[in-house]
Amino acid sequence: MTRRKSQRVITGIPGSPGIAIGTAYVERPIDIDPLTRSIAPEDAEAEVGRFQAAVDASKRQLEVIRDRVADLHVPEPRLILDTHLLILEDEMLIGETASTIRRETIAAEVALRATMDKVRAAFESITDDYFRERVNDVDQVAERILRNLSGHVDGASLAERAQGHVIVHHDLTPADTALLRRGMVMGFVTDTGGKTSHTVIMARSLEIPAVVGATSATADIDEGAMVILDGAAGVVIVDPDESTLEDYRRRKAVFEERERRLRAGAQKPAFTRDGVRVHLHANLELPQEAELAVACGADGIGMFRTEFLFMNRRDLPTEDEQYAAYRTVVEAMGGRPATIRTLDIGGDKLLSPADRPSEANPALGLRAIRYCLKEPALFRTQLRAILRAAQHGPVRILVPLVSGVEELRLTKAEIETARQSLAAEGFTAPAVEVGVMIEVPGAALVADLLAREADFFSLGTNDLIQYSLAIDRGNEEVAYLYEPMHPAMLRLLKMVLDAAAVAGRRVNLCGEMGGEAQYLPVLLGLGLREISMHAAQIPRMKRWLSAIDIDTSKKIAAKALTLATAKEVRDYVSSAAASFEPPTTLDGI
């Protein structure tokens, strides 16, 4: 393919901040079709040989990957690869395809597809959800064989294949993203996705620059093209000219130096300009990030998304494994509170083997606390692990997707059961606070009732926006409607903060908007005093806080509440915030 050489800009949605400059590793769904469908009978044996060679190549590739992932912090990719290697020996897949090539004298690709149709039909009749869904593994193995048949060779995991490059991908799952590492890949751009999708959240945690929802990135960017990815601006510049490159090299250096200096100065507690203490906590996706939270001056962990411990594996983490992970976090925080959110799977976060059959509306389906209450054994295992970790420092339990008081009561009963089972083994668990995520509009509407029985609230604005405004948070087509400053959102936030204030309950906000300085004055003005965000955002937000005063913030919130449209509120709030902007230069940087 001839390379398009002139500089062009692809605009997407800002995902994770940071600048990446490098060459593109493009992965698009490939269309694999044999040149001919039928073959001459005398060529059948050679065709079977070609098929077997592709199977053998697949085997060698999977063995190499399995060895490479052996020391990952999540051991389970190795187990998946073992399963895939076993599938490569399966008579129904391999033997049946070879027989079809001979019997029907057709190309290996066509025969393999015919076999896959039969395999899928067989899996569909399985009643057990878990086993039925394993057909996906067979699909992935067949896809690899097809790639080898067509000469598309990829012998490693995505992170390894794309090592040293900027990934250009149609759609990365949160689980794919969890395996990426800063320094290993430079950044990524995807065709799909929204600003608060879990893929983006994971990228921010790992501090990997990302642009999502760029629609045509895989179509417009050639493999190996030079790209500049600006995660904060949501743009990708392809085949940049020399002066643009020079400009972005400088911006990248400035960004990194500024982050380093901000971090170095972030250890002091945060106060507004008029001396009101505001607690800034870190959101955590992986236990190892607790150290980053401390380095960035977090007052505690505001939300540990434990579901990432359950991803990229075949089995469920045991109680001891979970206990070790929670303990790591609690100990790293050195006496500062660690809020551990109970398993929030479903929606865009799917796991194995806890995966459920496909649901028509996963975001409205068996997600989060609903799932846990339906799987008491799994839930109690997690609760026991959390209660055990609480002996090492202050722990709070946070319950996701609560829609009303009943779910809170049921959860408390489960916590009590877990506590008693530990007591029966001679372990007395310390007291832990139990709070609820306010992320379902129904919960916000009954916040006064919840406040009587919950120790604290955490505003999950990512979902609260999704559910209140009926906008799929991962869908780039409706991303333009995803608006934290919608008047409906302001009213809901006010309702929750007021109800909590009456009951004397603390309120944290842990959605992505909490890390955006433009919203700080209005949130403070509504009464918020605790915010949880990606650790890396804390130093910058502390600087902003020190420039804002509460009196003015209250006036800004009062005025914002009178405005009629999201655009009016957004324009007003961001210009009001800009008047507080602390100097962006730090000693000339």
Residues that bind ligand PEP (CB under 6 A): 201, 305, 344, 439, 460-463, 510-511
Q: Answer with the entry of ligand PEP, Mg ion, none that 147 interacts with (C-beta below 5 to 8 A by kind).
A: none
CA dihedral 131, 135, 141, 146 (to 10 degrees): 170
- The reply to whether 198 belongs to the active site is yes
Residues whose CB falls within 8 Å of the CB of residue 199, separated by 6 or more in sequence, listed in order: 15, 172, 173, 174, 176, 177, 190, 193, 210, 212, 348, 474
Q: Answer with the entry of ligand PEP, Mg ion, none that 305 interacts with (C-beta below 5 to 8 A by kind).
A: ligand PEP
In the list 439, 472, 476, 483, the residue contacting Mg ion (rule: CB under 5 A) is 439
- State in angstroms the smallest separation of the CB of 504 from ligand PEP: 23
- State in angstroms the smallest separation of the CB of 305 from Mg ion: 9
Find tokens 């604290």 and name the residue.
456
**483 belongs to the binding site for Mg ion (CB under 5 A):** no
- State in angstroms the smallest separation of the CB of 90 from ligand PEP: 37
Q: Answer with the entry of ligand PEP, Mg ion, none that 521 interacts with (C-beta below 5 to 8 A by kind).
A: none
Q: Give the CA radius of gyration of the chain.
A: 26
End-to-end CA distance of the chain: 42
Q: Which of 16, 14, 166 is nearest to 534 (CA)?
A: 16
Distance of alpha carbon 573 from alpha carbon 580, whole angstroms: 11
Phi-psi category of residue 340: left, alpha or beta, with phi > 0 → left and psi -120 to 50 → alpha: beta
Distance of alpha carbon 297 from alpha carbon 540, whole angstroms: 11
- State in angstroms the smallest separation of the CB of 94 from ligand PEP: 41
- The reply to whether 296 belongs to the active site is no
Q: Answer with the entry of Mg ion, ligand PEP, none that 510 interacts with (C-beta below 5 to 8 A by kind).
A: ligand PEP
Nearer to ligand PEP, 147 or 281 (CB): 281
**463 belongs to the binding site for Mg ion (CB under 5 A):** yes
- State in angstroms the smallest separation of the CB of 506 from ligand PEP: 16
Nearer to Mg ion, 25 or 467 (CB): 467
Asked if 568 and 315 count as a contact pair (C-beta separation under 8 A), the reply is no
- State in angstroms the smallest separation of the CB of 382 from ligand PEP: 16
The alpha carbon of 133 is separated from its chain's Cα centroid by a whole number of angstroms, namely 22
Nearer to ligand PEP, 17 or 174 (CB): 174
Q: Answer with the entry of Mg ion, ligand PEP, none that 174 interacts with (C-beta below 5 to 8 A by kind).
A: none
Find tokens 């109800």 and name the residue.
499
Q: Which of 529, 489, 522, 484 is nearest to 505 (CA)?
A: 529
- State in angstroms the smallest separation of the CB of 487 from Mg ion: 22
Nearer to ligand PEP, 239 or 344 (CB): 344
Distance of alpha carbon 342 from alpha carbon 383, whole angstroms: 8
Nearer to ligand PEP, 84 or 281 (CB): 281
**472 belongs to the binding site for Mg ion (CB under 5 A):** no
Cis amide leading into 353 (omega within 30): yes
- State in angstroms the smallest separation of the CB of 556 from Mg ion: 27
Phi and psi at residue 212, in whole multiples of 5°?
A: -125, 175
Nearer to Mg ion, 197 or 218 (CB): 197
Distance of alpha carbon 557 from alpha carbon 563, whole angstroms: 10
Q: Answer with the entry of ligand PEP, Mg ion, none that 281 interacts with (C-beta below 5 to 8 A by kind).
A: none
Annotate 497-531 with DSSP letters as a single string: HHHHHHHT-EEEE-SGGGG-GGGHHHHHHHT--EE
- State in angstroms the smallest separation of the CB of 463 from ligand PEP: 3
Asked if 219 and 238 count as a contact pair (C-beta separation under 8 A), the reply is no
Nearer to ligand PEP, 299 or 463 (CB): 463
Phi and psi at residue 262, in whole multiples of 5°?
A: -60, -45
334 SS3 class: coil
- State in angstroms the smallest separation of the CB of 492 from Mg ion: 14
Asked if 313 and 352 count as a contact pair (C-beta separation under 8 A), the reply is yes
Nearer to ligand PEP, 201 or 577 (CB): 201
Reading the block at residue 551, the tokens are: 């009196």
Nearer to ligand PEP, 381 or 532 (CB): 532
Q: Answer with the entry of ligand PEP, Mg ion, none that 511 interacts with (C-beta below 5 to 8 A by kind).
A: ligand PEP
Angle separating helix axes 76-87 and 135-149, nearest 10 degrees: 70
**460 belongs to the binding site for Mg ion (CB under 5 A):** yes
CA angle 262-266-267, nearest 5°? 155
Nearer to Mg ion, 107 or 202 (CB): 202
Total interface residues for Mg ion by CB under 5 A: 3
Catalytic residue among 84, 165, 281, 510: 510
Distance of alpha carbon 197 from alpha carbon 145, whole angstroms: 31
**285 belongs to the binding site for Mg ion (CB under 5 A):** no
Q: Which of 196, 209, 204, 385 is nearest to 309 (CA)?
A: 385
Distance of alpha carbon 156 from alpha carbon 164, whole angstroms: 14
Q: Which of 394, 545, 476 is nearest to 11 (CA)?
A: 476
Residue range at the interface with Mg ion (CB under 5 A); choices 82-90, 426-434, 459-467, 541-549 = 459-467
Catalytic residue among 84, 165, 169, 198: 198
- Residue ranges in contact with Mg ion by CB under 5 A: 439, 460, 463
User: Which residues have a catalytic role annotated?
Assistant: 198, 510
